[in-house]
Amino acid sequence: MADHVGVVARDREAAPLPGKYNICYVNGFQTQPDERRFWKQSAARWRLVLKKAGKPVVDTDWGEWLLDIRTAAKRKRLTRIVGRWLDGCAAAGFQGVDLDNLDSFGRSRGLLRPAHAKAYARLLVARAHEAGLAVGQKNWVELGKAGRRIGFDFALAEECARYRECGGYTRVYGDQVLVVEYRRRDFRVACAEWGSLSVVRRDRALSPKGVRDWC
């Protein structure tokens, strides 16, 4: 890793890197593909998986089940589960958290609404703050200033140079925006136009030996 890199994002099961600002990846709105047994082995947890016609609603790009955040009761129960993961991040030494798939409502086949995501995000952000973690808004540039009202401290923007969205994040979070690009040409644009931010180019699979470029 380049010496000038000061911020890293790692899975909650990984150890933070010494001397860096470490962001803990937590899939807060969907399930991890390798954790299906966890959600199915308990009837109570299985009821927290979003379903249509009795079958889980799937994010087909990643093979992840969406979580059912439609009611206050389910959001509260999910916050207890994710809250334990957040405590684990803090105990491991992470300083921040990436609550992924905030925008999962767009993949819910019409079952979830933005209001559900906002309500659930408020609970997760408050819980993360209790654990001593700063919280990043992952994508959903349309959230705008409501992100600050929810309590997000910074933003993680995937492909904001590609879709000309980086300014939408900086208007809310200033220079507290982490940019991730996957295409070389978009990475070059990000570095040229938004080089004052933290910009990285990765492969979509985020593989250990995959692409890693920094401005």
Please give the Cα distance from 196 to 183 (Å, whole number). Answer: 19
Could you tell me if residue 52 is inside a domain? no
Question: How many folded domains does the chain comprise?
Answer: 1
Please give the Cα distance from 95 to 21 (Å, whole number). Answer: 6
Residue range 84-90: average pLDDT? Answer: 98
CB 160 within 8 A of CB 166: yes
* 181 bridge partner residues: 201
Could you tell me if residue 203 is inside a domain? yes
Please give the Cα distance from 166 to 157 (Å, whole number). Answer: 7
The pTM of the full predicted model, rounded to 2 decimals, is 0.94
- Reference 25, options 103, 109, 86, 106; nearest CA is 86
- Reference 156, options 44, 16, 26; nearest CA is 26
Please give the Cα distance from 124 to 206 (Å, whole number). Answer: 25
Q: What is the dihedral of CA 194, 195, 198, 202, to 10 degrees?
A: 90
Could you tell me if residue 49 is inside a domain? no
pLDDT tens, residue by residue, 139-195: 999 999 999 999 999 999 999 999 999 999 999 999 999 999 999 999 999 999 999
Q: What is the CATH number of the domain that holds 95?
A: 3.20.20.70
Could you tell me if residue 56 is inside a domain? no
- What does the DSSP assignment read for 177-199? EEEEE-SHHHHHHHHHHHTTSEE
Pairing of β 64-65 and β 58-59: antiparallel
Asked whether residue 2 carries a pLDDT value surpassing 70, the answer given is no
**Which residue range is the domain that position 127 belongs to?**
7-30+76-214
> Model confidence at 1, in pLDDT bands (50, 70, 90)?
low
Please give the Cα distance from 175 to 169 (Å, whole number). Answer: 9
* Per-residue H/E/C for 64-79: EEEECCCCHHHHHHHH
Could you tell me if residue 45 is inside a domain? no
CB 122 within 8 A of CB 146: no
pLDDT tens, residue by residue, 111-149: 999 999 999 999 999 999 999 999 999 999 999 999 999
